[in-house]
Amino acid sequence: MHIPDGMLDPKTFGTLWAGGAGSIGYASWWIRKNLDGSKIVLMAVLAALIFGLQMLNFPIAAGTSGHFAGGALAGILLGAWPACIVMSAVLLVQALFFGDGGITTLGANIVNLGIIAPFVGAFIYELFQRVRSGYASKIAGAFTGAFVAVVVSSAAVALELWASNNAQFFAALGAMTFWHTIIGVGEGIITAGLIAYVAKVRPQLLGDEGALHTKRSLKSICVVLGALALIAAGLSFLASTSPDGLEFVYFDSGVGAEFEEGAHAAAAPMSDYLLPGVGSELLAGIGAGIVGVVLTGALILGLVVVLKRRAGGRDRTGERDRTGGRDRTGEKTKIAKSVEIDE
């Protein structure tokens, strides 16, 4: 998944370099503020371990093999920001000393493997722990987190290749996610195996009292993922003006013309992904992207609040709670309180 030099054009690698460098700067500041010397040494030893673990090749299909990436593992063990630094260090060493991944594409590789993978992995693992804590949940969370992290990172690679005019989007997305779905299973099994072993032998490494564990806040992870989504929306000016494969076939066969007339008659508020009332097409496109992300985020947030309220109103047996989220003593239950705080 390491993108070599020459695969991304200047506007894409420049943007991703800026994003990667900014993230490393923030992560360095975060580490200085939150971790002491012993944890930095520990992180370094773990970075060396992840580097070594990347030698683990496992068979996939048709005589090919994939290798362990370790982004999600680092995110689960260290927390997202320390993992960002660890993975970036691994990627820099690989690019500088081994020619694995490019120099101009280092920013892109850091974003894909050093930011997206640890954040997605840590987020999913944390979600599993919030739903139900326990040994099985740790393993399931680790497997799912690692699997999804690999697939999402590979989709990001496809997006970047497409933004650089070096791939047809759906072809690249299909091929990248197909192979990385298989690689993701291997990655998930290794990560789950490792977490299972650690949970049995040294559970404190995964607990709140652990030497590596830093208190992770879902809110901060959501903020970073949201910021990434906004940046992606802002990059909508990179989008090709040519139709995608489906649109091409649709209009080429003549079926689309009739539909297009109907669509114009319906007058969507932001047809062609352009914000109405903005003169510049570039700004209108970026604005529409950002409005779309904000609306989607608001929709998801609303859904979460509604689901939380429902959960707050039910007891463990699923029965409707008629006490307004209060227990026998009249005190509000923990879930009812958390909903109140969110509100």
Partner 1 sequence: MNTPNTNKLKPNEPKPFSPQGMLLAAVVLVVGIVVGMPHAPLEIITIFALVLIIGLVANVNLPKLFLRSLIVIPIAGCMAAFAPLRLVTEWSSSGIAAAYAQGAGRVVELILTPWMCVLVMLLLVQLCPEKDLLYALERLHVPRAFTLLLTFMYRYVGVMRTQLTAAHRSLVSRAPSISPRKQVLLYGNLAGAMLIRAHSRGERIHAAMLSRGFTGLLPRSTHQRFGLPDAALVAVAVLLGIAFVLL
Residues 176-215 that bind partner 1 (CB under 8 A): 186, 189-198, 201-202, 205, 211-212
Is residue 24 a contact residue for partner 1 (CB under 8 A)?
yes
For residues 40 to 79, the per-residue mask of contacts with partner 1, x marking binding by CB under 8 A and - elsewhere, is xxxxxxxxxx-xxx-xx-xx--------x--------x--
Q: How far apart are CA 206 and CA 89, in angstroms?
A: 23
Residue 239 touching partner 1 (CB under 8 A) = no
What span, in angstroms and rounded, lies between the C-alpha atoms of 69 and 109? Answer: 12
User: Does the footprint of partner 1 cover residue 110 (CB under 8 A)?
Assistant: no
Q: How near is the Cβ of 99 to partner 1 at its closest, in Å?
A: 4
The separation between the first and the last C-alpha atoms of the chain, rounded to the nearest angstrom, is 42
Q: Give 194 or 293: the residue with its C-beta nearer to partner 1.
A: 194
- The size of the interface with partner 1 (CB under 8 A), counted in residues, is 78
C-alpha 62/C-alpha 285 separation (Å) is 42
Per-residue DSSP letter, 314: B
Q: Which is nearer to partner 1, 210 or 297 (CB)?
A: 210
* Number of C-beta neighbours around residue 112 at 10 A: 29
CA-CA-CA-CA torsion for 58, 64, 70, 73, nearest 10 degrees?
-60
What's CA 135's distance to the chain center, in Å? 24
Which CB sits closer to partner 1, 97 or 280?
Answer: 97
Give the nearest distance from C-beta 13 to partner 1 in angstroms: 8
Told to check if 259 binds partner 1 by CB under 8 A, we report: no
Residue 113 vs 198, nearer CB to partner 1? 198
The three-state secondary structure class of 187 is helix
In order of 124, 125, 159, 325, the CA distances from 77 in angstroms are 13, 10, 28, 35
- Of 32-40, 221-229, 275-283, 293-301, the segment contacting partner 1 by CB under 8 A is 32-40
Report which residue type is found at 99: G
Judged by beta carbon, residue 15 or residue 104, the one nearer partner 1 is: 104
Stretch that binds partner 1, among 124-132, 164-172, 227-235, 316-324 (CB under 8 A): 164-172
Binding mask 143-162 for partner 1 (x = CB under 8 A): ------------------x-
Q: Which is nearer to partner 1, 237 or 248 (CB)?
A: 248
Beta carbons within 8 Å of 257's beta carbon, 6+ residues apart: 251
Residue type, 157: V
